[in-house]
Amino acid sequence: MKAAVELVDQRVGETVEALRDRLAGIIGITPTDTGRYLDVDERRLRSAALTVLTLKLYCGLDDADALDAVVDGKDDYGVDAIVVSSVTGTRFKLTFIQSKLHDRLDGACNYEQGAVTEMISALETLLDPDAEFAGNSRLTRQVDHFRKLLREGRIPDVTVLMASNGRTWVDAVETRIKDAVRRKKLPSKWIHFGPTEMHRLWHPTEPVNDTIKLQGKYLEEEIGGHRVIIGKVAVQEIARLVKEYDIRLVGRNVRYFLGAEKDSVNSEIEKSLQTNDDCGNFYFYNNGLTITCDRVDYHQGAHESPILQADNIQIVNGGQTSLIIGRVLGDETPAPGACVLTRIYELPENKELVERITWATNNQNPVTLSDLRANDEVQILLEKSIEELGYRYRRKRLDRPIAPKEFTSLDVARSVYAVWRRKIIDVPNESALFREHYDNVFTGSLNGAQAILACLIRQQVERLYIKESFPERHTEDRLLRENKRRRDTFFKAAGMLLGKWVIDNVCSRDLSQLDHRKFLHAVDHLEKGAESFLLTEFSRLKDTYKDPEENPWRAFPNLVNEAQDTPEKRSDAREAGQAV
């Protein structure tokens, strides 16, 4: 147990060093003037790092997706991360994660009763689609996501994962959990994910000894005293191994598989395998597999397509690809001609090197679509235009916190999509924004003034939403007592309403007139009248449509008619209205 605790502590430290600035930005802490963090903030960073480790180990996420799932911070309801996955048919997977990092490294600390009680209370609120809650923006985004699925009638498979570097909870706490499950109809699957469980994933048992058939020519070299074989393997061969050995093949892979989410890379892998006309190009679409083994032999006279005999096979990178291949392929999905690049390293009795390879290959920063777009001419011109206004535009990822007057390309994409492109549905994820919607968001006419004003409008909307969700913060809870669904739907359109209001009053109803010359006037107009304008608009909606269940978009016909991103705009508008 003690060795496992020390290993967790080591991995937590490595995660903090690798992701320090991004973790700090998520949980809302800043370094002192000396560039160092206070001791209390360092502990918060380590706790957040344990959450990221848990997301990667148990849920199979990479760094980017793990960080996106973290909701830790002020007003987090005691929940540190939420993962919504495998949204298929009528069901989806929903995982709540809470992490507790103890200072003691002997593993003797039990999971805190107060933390469990806090999670029980959070689940009561968050899993009720009609219950009001006031969480931070990251928590709100995740909760809105799965509540939408609940309202659609989908059934969640909920797991409550309580991670720590100590022992599980005592019997009295277990009794309290069972009582809450019985009386309050809470999820029954509660798991303590501790050092022993983490250690098992890092150090799987029952080695896999089998053959691996290569396709065509291959290369063998000796590097650093170790044999390295590089070639291609048919996906059917990978599927055979997965179906025979399942998760034992990827026991060392820190991207432990949970499921393929819609619009994720995993879904793209499935799609390419299921398209016979394109699966022959699968080799070019995939980064390949990295396999370690204790020993590998084959007939030396085979110049092509040798059959390798390998002992203790472990897929240390590419585990998600392998498991998806195993799940998708079968008699009905033969994937003719599909192969995957495979690197096989013979590393007998060198567990330390295997661990380093596993860690290094799974912790390289993923290249996102926004990274690939960073050097587009429109991005470079937009950066210069924004700088002229006294703001900063981060079109490329940097390992430092976001400055007060700085916006990322993702911030701009989300804001422009919601404000100027007049969409009344939820803003898409990063992948969709920088793929399907990219040309519509980053048009040749988009300038710095329009981009930054859209970001400032979104900030105004978020501030008002938070303010109206906390009655203790002001004397008039003007929107709090209204029908929650109608209020929340209204706020989805608030950015469009504000944008139209500013342009009508500052730019004679012509967005193209908003440039550096009118930027300060537009910002001043926004700051002085945004809150009053939105509250007036909400009152107009309420007075016009007395029934809170009635479609509120009928109050804004111009906005609905002008939503023009996709041919499905009418169904999008109808869907948004039905969510009220």
Compute φ and ψ for 386, nearest 5 degrees: -70, -40
Are the beta carbons of 412 and 393 closer than 8 angstroms? yes
Domains and CATH numbers, the chain: 1-202 (3.40.91), 210-366 (no CATH), 372-564 (no CATH)
CA distances from 298 to 212, 213, 350, 374 (A): 10, 10, 21, 46
Q: Which two tokens stand for residue 62?
A: 């990479």
Q: Which two tokens stand for residue 499?
A: 């944008």
Q: What is the DSSP track for 462-505?
A: HHHHHHHT-GGGSS--TTTTS-HHHHHHHHHHHHHHHHHHHHHH
Residue with tokens 């730019």: 507
Which residue from 323, 397, 320 is spatially nearest to 361, judged by alpha carbons? 320
206 and 248 in contact (C-beta within 8 Å)?
yes
Per-residue pLDDT for the chain (580 aa), expressed as one digit of tens each? 567 888 899 899 999 999 998 999 999 888 888 888 898 999 999 999 999 999 988 887 888 889 999 999 989 999 999 999 877 667 888 999 999 999 888 888 999 999 999 999 999 999 998 888 899 999 999 999 999 888 888 888 899 999 999 999 999 999 999 999 988 788 888 999 998 888 777 765 678 999 999 999 999 999 989 999 999 999 999 999 988 887 678 765 544 443 433 334 566 777 778 777 778 888 988 889 999 999 999 987 778 999 999 999 999 888 878 878 887 886 556 777 889 999 999 998 777 788 778 777 765 556 677 877 888 888 988 998 999 899 999 987 765 667 788 999 999 999 999 899 866 556 677 778 888 889 999 998 899 999 999 999 998 888 887 665 544 443 444 444 455 666 777 777 888 999 999 999 999 999 999 999 999 999 999 999 998 998 888 777 777 666 655 555 555 555 544 443 333 333 343 333 332 2
Of 101, 100, 65, residue with least CA distance to 83: 65
Task: Count the Cβ atoms, other than its own, within 10 Å of residue 44.
Answer: 20
For residue 425, which of 576, 579, 263 has the smallest C-alpha distance? 576
Select from 547, 526, 537 the least CA-distant residue to 493: 537
**pTM score:** 0.47
Token pair recorded at residue 407: 């916006």
Q: Considering only CA atoms, which of 259, 247, 257 is closest in space to residue 92?
A: 259
